[in-house]
């Protein structure tokens, strides 16, 4: 298999990957970045981003990511199309296989592969993507002020999202498949005490409807085998049934939690493997925002530079 060597390899082209590339490029690490299946990352699937600092009028997700890409290119990042398909982090230099056909040997690795929100799998979720369907209340809740929304899920995240939205929307329906919430007792209590939240136990969302965006959800209620179908008018439909961190190929070497989020040292992108750093959503079960991803990408690149410097490997870059 073809082999190539680099000092700093970045996997992923979301805000974390590109920001790491900007810092690594300016530190003269000559980074190589592989974009993966979704060049620009998750933000390329949304319309306006209103909470990324520096854009008082907001900016389209795609334009923001094009700007970040251009900035990374300006400082010498070698940005390539390709997917990391295997990893060997058992010893330095670490080996990453790209598209099953090429191996990159690298002294430092920045994993910025993101996390993918889980959806129910309804065709309507695709149909109304960006038109009333969201998997991020912090990102999109603002667009539903004084409107009626539904949140799907019964765990801590769903309760958190419902509580966040309850501060903005006029009413929040929490659609729960089971007859109970899986969330912690304290979250359950907060949700149940909130007057803006109505919990629909034993309910499944089976479809969405609306002319130019979501206007309602088709529901199926099932209590002890007795089924009832009805429609509930809503303006926004929020999924909160979990995320899948894109960490599978690294798991044999790197510590993750039970969901697959990469565990790093507190307040640091350092993983349990020296010289391997994780940035952005792949290591963040809590915030999952573009700005937090960018911030951790910055930290990862600074750590990579320090690591190479300590090993005396910077001179030959
Ligand atoms: C619809 C939507 C709207 C959002 N709106 C906002 C918002 O308004 N404000 C906000 O702050 N946040 C928003 N977010 C959240 C934000 O997009 C994420 O927090 C952020 O993109 C995370 O950045 P990241 O760099 O960690 O990963 P991602 O953006 O997820 O990028 C991951 C990258 O890794 C690549 N990759 C994955 N696996 C591999 C592999 N094996 N090999 C190579 N590359 C790989 C992918 O191709 C992708 O480029 C939104 C998210 C969604 C889905």
Q: What global pTM score does this model have?
A: 0.90
Give the helix ranges, DSSP H, for 61-116: 61-74
116: left (phi over 0), alpha (psi -120 to 50) or beta: beta
Q: How far is the CA of 47 from the CAs of 60, 78, 119, 189, 209, in angstroms?
A: 5, 28, 19, 35, 21
Q: Are strands 171-175 and 148-152 parallel, antiparallel or unpaired?
A: parallel
- Mean pLDDT for the chain overall: 96
CA of 46 to the centre of ligand 1 (A): 10
Annotation marks residue 159 as catalytic? no
Q: Are strands 78-80 and 59-60 parallel, antiparallel or unpaired?
A: unpaired
Reported confidence tier of residue 136, pLDDT bands at 50, 70, 90: very high
Among the listed residues 107, 5, 36, 17, the one whose alpha carbon sits nearest the alpha carbon of residue 300 = 17
Substitution site in 33, 101, 136, 288 for ligand 1 pocket (most atoms within 8 Å of beta carbon):
136
What would you measure as the largest C-alpha separation in the chain, in angstroms? 72
Of 17-31, 190-204, 227-241, 302-316, the range with the lowest mean pLDDT is 302-316
Mean pLDDT of 107-130: 95
Chain segment 64-103, per-residue pLDDT in tens: 999 999 999 999 999 999 999 999 999 999 999 999 999 9
Mean pLDDT of 141-170: 96
Strand order in the sheet with 197-200: 133-134, 236-239, 148-152, 171-175, 197-200
Q: What pLDDT does 317 receive?
A: 44
Q: What pLDDT does 276 receive?
A: 98
Q: Which two tokens stand for residue 65?
A: 């990511």
In eight-state DSSP terms, residue 27 is T
Catalytic residue chosen out of the listed positions 48, 78, 88, 136: 136
Residue nearest to atom 33 of ligand 1 (CA): 12
Mean pLDDT of 158-163: 95
pLDDT higher than threshold 90 for residue 47:
no
Catalytic residue chosen out of the listed positions 124, 140, 281, 284: 140
CA of 42 to the centre of ligand 1 (A): 3
Q: Which residues line ligand 1 (CB under 6 A)?
A: 11-17, 34-39, 41-43, 45-46, 49, 51-52, 83-84, 112-114, 117, 135-136, 139, 246, 280-281, 288-291, 293
Annotation marks residue 136 as catalytic? yes
Mean pLDDT of 203-232: 96
Annotation marks residue 139 as catalytic? yes
Q: Which two tokens stand for residue 114?
A: 């993101």
Chain segment 266-288, per-residue pLDDT in tens: 999 999 999 999 999 999 999 99
Reported confidence tier of residue 315, pLDDT bands at 50, 70, 90: low
Q: What is the share, in percent, of the chain residues with pLDDT greater than 90?
A: 94
Chain segment 232-271, per-residue pLDDT in tens: 999 999 999 999 999 999 999 999 999 999 999 999 999 9
Residue nearest to atom 2 of ligand 1 (CA): 46
pLDDT higher than threshold 60 for residue 292:
yes
CA of 222 to the centre of ligand 1 (A): 36
């Amino acid at each position: 298999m073809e082999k190539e060597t680099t000092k700093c390899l970045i996997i992923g082209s979301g805000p974390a990957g590109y920001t790491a590339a900007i810092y690594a490029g300016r530190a003269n690490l000559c980074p190589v970045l592989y974009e993966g299946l979704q060049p620009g990352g998750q933000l390329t699937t949304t319309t306006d981003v209103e909470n990324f600092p520096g854009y008082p009028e907001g900016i389209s997700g795609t334009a923001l990511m094009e700007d970040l890409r251009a900035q990374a290119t300006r400082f010498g990042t070698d940005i390539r199309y390709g997917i990391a398909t295997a990893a060997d982090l058992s010893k330095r230099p670490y080996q990453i296989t790209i598209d099953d056909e090429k191996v990159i040997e690298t002294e430092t690795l920045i994993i910025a592969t993101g996390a993918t929100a889980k959806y129910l799998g309804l065709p309507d979720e695709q149909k109304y993507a960006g038109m009333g369907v969201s998997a991020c209340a912090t990102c999109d809740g603002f667009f539903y002020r004084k409107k009626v929304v539904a949140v799907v899920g019964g765990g801590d995240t769903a309760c958190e999202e419902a509580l966040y939205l309850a501060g903005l929307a006029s009413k929040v329906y929490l659609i729960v498949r089971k007859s109970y919430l899986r969330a912690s007792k304290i979250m359950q209590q907060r949700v149940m005490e909130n007057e803006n939240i109505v919990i629909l136990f034993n309910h499944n969302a089976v479809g969405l409807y609306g002319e130019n965006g979501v206007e309602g959800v088709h529901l199926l209620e099932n209590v002890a085998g007795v089924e009832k179908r009805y429609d509930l008018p809503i303006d926004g439909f929020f999924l909160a049934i979990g995320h899948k961190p894109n960490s599978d190929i690294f798991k044999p070497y790197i510590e993750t939690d039970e969901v697959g989020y990469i565990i790093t040292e507190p307040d640091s992108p350092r993983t349990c493997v020296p010289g391997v750093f994780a940035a952005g959503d792949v290591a963040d079960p809590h915030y999952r925002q573009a700005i937090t991803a960018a911030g951790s990408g910055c930290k990862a690149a600074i750590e990579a530079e320090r690591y190479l410097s300590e090993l005396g490997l910077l001179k030959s870059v």
